[in-house]
Copies of this chain bind each other. A is one copy, B any other.
């Protein structure tokens, strides 16, 4: 599996499969056919089979998929069986929202440190984790086995912080700043550009206006 290149589109769909399978599992459903999963998720059964074939299939023909097995296998592919230590840079509303979101911790993403430029926030605790000055990032990341940095700060600060994080050999950046970060390819960057998302929504509304 390591040698096989899986398309970004397939990877992008895995979390959604994982979410639906989790709901099925929580509802006590043990098996599901690709047809039923297809109806539930509103994608074609052939798409589901093709996606799963990238990972060797998972399927038992005629019996459908074992929900818990499939859920666990997708978790492994997504790397959710490992714990990841993370820091949040920016203790504003968005940083606080993420720090307080207990589901992330349940999935193995542990908030170890929170940093902010604002001295008034220093020492304030978010779920038991004190906010520290932004100057402490480099030392903290190196000393605490931090994999992931979450950037919830404005774009100028995000660009500067990314440079620090590159020096610390951070493995991944979850970037909420409204800017594309320029980091080596060995660092995984996942962007959440909220303004871009809102613009797509706005486009959708305009399109309906134009077509009516």
* A interface residues, Cβ below 8 angstroms from B: 1-2, 11-12, 14-16, 18-19, 41-42, 77-80, 82, 84, 92-94, 96-98, 100-101, 103-104, 107, 109, 147-148, 171-172, 174, 178, 180, 186, 188, 190, 192-206, 208-211
Cβ of A103 to closest chain B Cβ, rounded Å: 6
Chain B positions within 8 Å of A14 at CB level: 199, 203
- In the bound complex, residues from chain B placing their C-beta under 8 Å from that of A101 are 194
Residues A205 and B172 in contact in the complex (CB < 8 Å), given A195-B15, A198-B190, A200-B12: yes
Of all chain B residues, the one with the shortest Cβ separation from A190 is B201
A201 adjacent to B178 (CB under 8 Å):
no
B80, A202: Cβ atoms closer than 8 Å: yes
Indicate if the CB atoms of B103 and A92 lie closer than 8 Å.
no
Most buried by B among A78, A93, A195, A199: A199
Give complex CA distance A198, B144 in Å: 20
| Given A15-B193, A148-B201, 20 more pairs with CB closer than 8 A | A1-B210, A2-B211, A12-B200, A15-B197, A16-B193, A19-B195, A78-B202, A79-B203, A80-B202, A82-B205, A82-B206, A93-B97, A96-B97, A103-B195, A104-B198, A172-B205, A188-B204, A188-B205, A192-B192, A192-B197
Residues of B within 8 A of A107 (CB): 195, 198-199
Whether A194 contacts B195 by the Cβ 8 Å rule is: no
